[in-house]
């Protein structure tokens, strides 16, 4: 099924087991409520894979660093914000790229060690003055060129550890003046402005071969200049003309969480609308069984592009990894560079 689901807690319930066995979702996503310690998370990811040995679901997490990371101290390292690397880039671009890659290798190793395949990072949004702080320091900074320079480094570091990145929130959430978790943001800028700012880092990224190893997550944002009636997630025009067309993204497109209040209507309708618009898979995060059952009613079988993406995750799992950095030394390198670089 072309869906990624969350779970209610740190172990699977019998209802979840039965539902996941029946629906065979493309994957699962973990949140803080699912996480206690490394041993427990590894057992959970293995349990998810053992539900049906005839296919290999992917397992995702949001581990950006800063305020958005599900694996937290004291069990895991507190990673810096992306804005800190953006600031270092202004002082020493080469050092910023070097320590950012090391930082992401460390994150990637933490994920791989507990059975996680996919990290929903990097944020490639470009915040503007007056925008809502939901993006804020999750972004590298306010210059499209800066985002374009550093986002590939995040992906390279994760890929070094065998982790698939998810670029987000395509085609750009940076100038939204409201939080899409709570309401639907509407962006009124003209298309020329959007092309020069919001879309530019994604377009630059997709002009390179590294995009072929990545997923992309949509923005629950209305762009009036393109489609005044639908957010990107459910807009065939935004997905076909902008994301696939102008930006040129070729890989798997997943929706942002269907449970966010930017979207309305029954979950069945939300899922069907996102898939009809061109998303390859929908995301539902809350782990609420009634909502997941409704999402499943609006879903389709996994399509060929999503199947290729899953095959790509398998390739990442099995390929030789770069030697992992020595954790203590690498942590010191990252911290010291950000403080003194």
Q: pLDDT for 144-195, tens place per residue?
A: 999 999 999 999 999 999 999 999 999 999 999 999 999 999 999 999 999 9
CB atoms within 10 A of CB 14: 7
Mean pLDDT of the chain: 93
Domain coordinates of the chain in residue numbers? 66-251+309-340
Query: Cα torsion at 222, 224, 229, 234 (round to 10°)?
Result: -40
Question: Architecture of domain 66-251+309-340 in CATH?
Answer: Alpha-Beta Barrel (3.20)
| Closest listed residue to residue 237, CA positions, set 246, 126, 178 | 246
Chain centroid offset of residue 219 CA: 11
pLDDT tens for each residue of 268-313: 999 999 999 999 999 999 999 999 999 999 999 999 888 888 887 8
Question: What pLDDT score was predicted for residue 341?
Answer: 62
Q: Residue 164 in contact with residue 215, Cβ under 8 Å?
A: yes
Question: What pLDDT score was predicted for residue 311?
Answer: 81
What's the angle, vertex CA 214, arms to CA 212 and CA 253, rounded to 5? 105
Question: Over pLDDT 70: what percentage of the chain?
Answer: 93
Q: Which residues are catalytically annotated?
A: 181, 256
Q: Is 48 helix (H, G, I), strand (E, B) or coil?
A: helix
Alpha helices for 161-299 (secondary structure H): 191-196, 200-206, 236-237, 267-277, 289-297
| Position 267 pLDDT exceeds 90 | yes
The reply to whether omega before 169 is within 30° of 0 (cis) is yes
Question: Over pLDDT 90: what percentage of the chain?
Answer: 87
- The mean pLDDT of 305-323, rounded to a whole number, is 72
Q: Residue 150 in contact with residue 86, Cβ under 8 Å?
A: yes
Question: What pLDDT score was predicted for residue 309?
Answer: 83
| Position 55 pLDDT exceeds 90 | no
DSSP secondary structure letter of residue 231: B
| Position 137 pLDDT exceeds 90 | yes
Question: What pLDDT score was predicted for residue 312?
Answer: 76
- The mean pLDDT of 215-234, rounded to a whole number, is 98
| Position 321 pLDDT exceeds 70 | no
- In our burial notation (b when 16+ CB lie closer than 10 A, e otherwise), range 315-336 reads ebbeeebeeebeeeebbebbee
Alpha helices for 135-196 (secondary structure H): 144-160, 191-196
Question: What pLDDT score was predicted for residue 313?
Answer: 80
Q: Give the pTM.
A: 0.94
**What is the C-alpha separation between 64 and 120, in angstroms, rounded?**
7
Question: What pLDDT score was predicted for residue 314?
Answer: 72
| Closest listed residue to residue 262, CA positions, set 290, 235, 289 | 235
pLDDT tens for each residue of 7-42: 999 999 999 999 999 999 999 999 999 999 999 999
Question: What pLDDT score was predicted for residue 228?
Answer: 97
Question: What pLDDT score was predicted for residue 308?
Answer: 85
Q: CA of 267: how far to CAs of 28, 32, 76, 187, 281, in Å? A: 17, 23, 34, 24, 14
Question: What pLDDT score was predicted for residue 331?
Answer: 63
| Position 98 pLDDT exceeds 70 | yes
Question: What pLDDT score was predicted for residue 167?
Answer: 98
**What is the C-alpha separation between 284 and 290, in angstroms, rounded?**
12
DSSP secondary structure letter of residue 174: T
- The mean pLDDT of 199-206, rounded to a whole number, is 98
- H helix or E strand, kind and range, residue 53: none
- In our burial notation (b when 16+ CB lie closer than 10 A, e otherwise), range 100-120 reads bbbbbbbbbbbbbebbbbbbb
């Amino acid at each position: 099924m072309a869906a990624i689901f969350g779970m209610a807690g740190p172990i699977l319930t019998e209802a979840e087991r039965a539902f996941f066995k029946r629906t065979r979702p493309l994957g699962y996503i973990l949140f803080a409520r699912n996480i206690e310690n490394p041993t427990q998370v590894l057992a959970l990811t293995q349990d998810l894979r053992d539900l049906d040995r005839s296919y290999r679901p992917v397992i995702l997490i949001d581990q950006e660093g800063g305020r958005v990371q599900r694996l937290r101290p004291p069990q895991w390292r507190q990673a810096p914000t992306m804005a800190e690397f953006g600031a270092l880039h202004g002082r020493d671009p080469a050092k910023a790229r070097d320590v950012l890659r090391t930082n992401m290798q460390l994150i990637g190793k933490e994920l791989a060690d507990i059975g996680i395949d996919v990290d929903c990072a990097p944020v490639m949004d470009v915040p503007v003055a007056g925008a809502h702080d939901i993006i804020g320091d999750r972004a590298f900074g306010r210059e499209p060129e800066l985002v374009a320079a550093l986002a590939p480094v995040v992906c390279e570091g994760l890929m070094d550890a065998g982790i698939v990145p998810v670029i987000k929130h395509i085609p750009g959430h940076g100038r939204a003046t409201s939080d899409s978790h709570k309401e639907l943001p509407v962006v009124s800028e003209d298309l020329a402005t959007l092309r020069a700012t919001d879309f530019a880092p994604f377009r630059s990224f997709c002009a390179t071969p590294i995009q072929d190893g990545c997923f992309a997550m949509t923005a629950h944002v209305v762009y009036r200049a393109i489609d005044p009636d639908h957010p990107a997630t459910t807009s065939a025009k935004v997905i076909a003309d902008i994301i696939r067309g102008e930006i040129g993204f070729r890989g798997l497109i997943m929706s942002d969480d269907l449970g966010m209040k930017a979207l309305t209507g029954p979950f069945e309708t939300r899922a069907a609308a996102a898939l009809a618009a061109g998303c390859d898979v929908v995301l539902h995060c809350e782990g609420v069984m009634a909502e997941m059952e409704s999402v499943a009613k609006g879903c389709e079988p996994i399509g060929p592009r999503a199947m290729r993406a899953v095959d790509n995750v398998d390739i990442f799992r099995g390929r030789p990894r770069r030697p992992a950095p020595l954790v203590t030394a690498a942590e010191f390198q990252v911290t010291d560079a950000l403080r003194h670089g």
